[in-house]
Structure 1
């Protein structure tokens, strides 16, 4: 997943509109490439930056014990981009963000994180605000290039590289996922295991795996027979009587409870 940020002087809003950027999802790949070239050429008043999250990083984050969902990943990526622009000396005043999750909560979160900025979070912001449209184009072009030129780190010489766009509505992508599923190891790191499209195929066709230390498996014999650590420190109900020291035994001394 690729997240993008664009910024320009408030006095150049009209110049940005003249570039005629639009929501990247409404454009063809060729149209996005041409508009990205225009945005990149306008360095005198437009700046942009990206943050790329690899499929393996997203899967690892979402499937760790302490859950880190996709919304949190997206929010942190956006916050990181805004902070990086500020750290590079750009004097931001207004920030426009395409929402992930409830817009009001996301907007409040950003306002608390950046109290000196005027933050606006909206659904479909990339079709409402030209600066967000420009950012979406930069991110989408970068993603297309990453997908089209992906270098597999695994030894997969016979693997068909015609996997389509990588989106769930692409039948070529679904066909590729079904064809190249390894029943034990799943997919190469190019595929996000936490992606619901891949997860459905894994659940239906991959070999099921049972982990002995699964927290949900409370019926295993190992767990039933393994005592709790706390049990070693608990006072025993039928604790045997403690034998007195031989000093008392030799002198025939006994402990009394009443005087």
Structure 2
């Protein structure tokens, strides 16, 4: 059932929705957000229809599944196609609108569109995953009132502000490498710790150790194999190893 089809009777039941995108990374063409929704009672059947990440499917299989989707009257869907000119205009205007905000607006727009069609939408599957997320950290003041998780959500902003730590950063739920997180660490504490690594000239201090600043470390994509990254970390604590933080000399 396409987005322009008549609304079937099952949409009056509690429904779930999933949202995904294609074309976020390429330099050519549009970015497309799409949603699929169905009655919660149809969820188990939906999981048996062999849908999967499009990158794992051959073109013939994708076309076959798309035809099946269009013919299935127990499924509804809608898409938002964002023209490359619109993307460029928003990201280059004086008051820039970044890709995260564009993506957020597209996803919210799809939800509003489906709700306005009269679908009794009670849950989006990503919301469920976020809601059921088990926080690894155990601080007493941790809570899960983090809203949608999008950078424009006031609840998300408040949660990030409340859960930042000026030494250890954010809980592991947060994509801390995103630029969204940068403003929260203007007053980050300068941290010094001992390292067994020698200086650049091969020398070290009298006790074989030297002090390193937290600011000496940055998030960077290593040129080494992942196995080497995971097995390295001499002189570094578990916190930095787990987050793939490395010492760099150039940015």
**How does the TM-score come out when normalised to structure 1?**
0.38
- Structure that is richer in strand per residue: 2
**How does the TM-score come out when normalised to structure 2?**
0.39
Higher relative contact order (CA 8 A, sep 6+): 1
Computing the radius of gyration from Cα coordinates, the structure with the larger value is 1
- Structure that is richer in helix per residue: 1
